Amino acid sequence: MSFAAKHLRLSNFRNFGHLELEIPNGFTILTGQNAQGKTSILESLYWLSTTRMLRGTRDAEAIKQGEAGCLVEAELVTGTTIGATLEQGSRKKFYLNGASLPRASDVLGRLPCVVISIFDLEIVRGDPSDRRLFLDIELSSLFPAYLRHLSIYKRALEQRNALLKMAQERAMDDFSFDTWEEPLAKEGAELRRIRNEYLDSLGPKVTRYHSQMSSQPEVLQLSYILKDESTDRDSLLRGYQETRRADIHRGTTQIGPHRDDIEIRIENKDARLFGSQGQQRTAVIALKLATLEMAKEHLGESPLLLLDDMLSDLDAERRSRLCHVVATEAGQAILTCTEASAAGEEILDRSVVYAVKQGTVSQP
């Protein structure tokens, strides 16, 4: 395995002063009571993988209280080290083998990971923006080109929105709008194409995992919902031009991939509105296992799976089905739970178990 992590070092990260942790190639279970630091360990790896914190918190909140800065460093089995530092009041920096990377995004793809945590429930329950963020994070880590399309699109969108606001005060010439609508249409059509393609392959996998984990047969369907009809560059460009006047009135851009959504239907009902807690939870897990499989197909090996606290709240049957899928599908995985027994024998037999207590880790 060329992506697997071998060693993790934390310094003043969350409630950890200093931590050196060996990570085995297979499965690791982190056990411990609440608020001991289990999620923080997963978060540190997620930070290196995605440049983001796990819980949507601001980066600075990761610095241990009272300290000036934090460091996270992971050594991979290949010998490559990936690092991240953050000093109070300045920008986070990412490193590859000790050398500073020009942009944070340069670290994407070095330590691919898929996380399944309670925060992911928002993908099913939350707003369209939660689902778009899920897509953007997945696709950016798999395809560097997607991230380029996305950043150009976002910049053009900001510029067009600024123009719309100015146009409320005084007449703006068409030329200024054309300047930003052209890249919006070009990049927007690409974003939609890549998202559509990805979801076309992802959908059947989610359906399969969902039915594998449900107690009675249930059909889950995933579809990409366009805010408008335009799938190619020309029609999107016409769309932006035609909605210009209405957009000036509202002060924002109404059409385009930044308004799209993913619809998740279970037994033909919108899971967001009508799914039971158990169904929503199963749907999120199925979605994430499917992203793991997609990443595995794309990368040629399984990314690191981080499973945070998902076992405790599932009923025994769903839990054992999930554990079985994890045991058969995952490569390297780190699971957190209060009691190691929650992981079930199939996983436990192959795991190294660590106990996390007040920001220290030991082998029980």
Ligand X SMILES: Nc1ncnc2c1ncn2[C@@H]1O[C@H](COP(=O)(O)OP(=O)(O)O)[C@@H](O)[C@H]1O
Contacts with ligand X by CB under 6 A lie at: 14-15, 32, 34-40, 61-65, 356
Helices 174-213 and 144-169 sit at what angle, rounded to 10 degrees? 130
Does 39 participate in binding Mg ion (rule CB under 5 A)?
yes
Shortest distance in whole angstroms from residue 30 CB to ligand X: 8
Give whichever of 36 and 81 is closer to ligand X, judged by the CB atom: 36
Shortest distance in whole angstroms from residue 37 CB to Mg ion: 8
Rounded to whole angstroms, the Cα distance separating 115 from 135 reads 14
Query: Segment near Mg ion (CB under 5 A), from 38-46, 79-87, 232-240, 252-260?
Result: 38-46
Does 117 participate in binding Mg ion (rule CB under 5 A)?
no
Give whichever of 61 and 127 is closer to ligand X, judged by the CB atom: 61
**One-letter amino acid for residue 235 of the chain:** S
Alpha-helical (H) ranges within the chain are 38-50, 121-125, 128-142, 144-169, 174-213, 233-242, 244-250, 271-274, 277-299, 316-329, 344-348
Give whichever of 196 and 360 is closer to ligand X, judged by the CB atom: 360
Q: Residue 308: CB partners within 8 Å, gap ≥ 6?
A: 38, 39, 42, 54, 115, 116, 117, 118, 336
Q: What angle do CA 97, 103, 108 make, to 5 degrees?
A: 70
Does 31 participate in binding Mg ion (rule CB under 5 A)?
no
Shortest distance in whole angstroms from residue 23 CB to ligand X: 17
Gyration radius from the chain CA atoms: 22
Shortest distance in whole angstroms from residue 321 CB to ligand X: 24
Give whichever of 214 and 336 is closer to Mg ion, judged by the CB atom: 336
Q: What does the block give as tokens for 157?
A: 């969108």
Binding partner at 63 among ligand X, Mg ion, none, C-beta below 5 to 8 Å by kind:
ligand X
Give whichever of 35 and 166 is closer to ligand X, judged by the CB atom: 35
Within 10 angstroms of residue 147's Cβ, the number of other Cβ atoms is 18
Binding partner at 35 among Mg ion, ligand X, none, C-beta below 5 to 8 Å by kind:
ligand X
Q: Which residues contact Mg ion by CB under 5 A?
A: 38-39
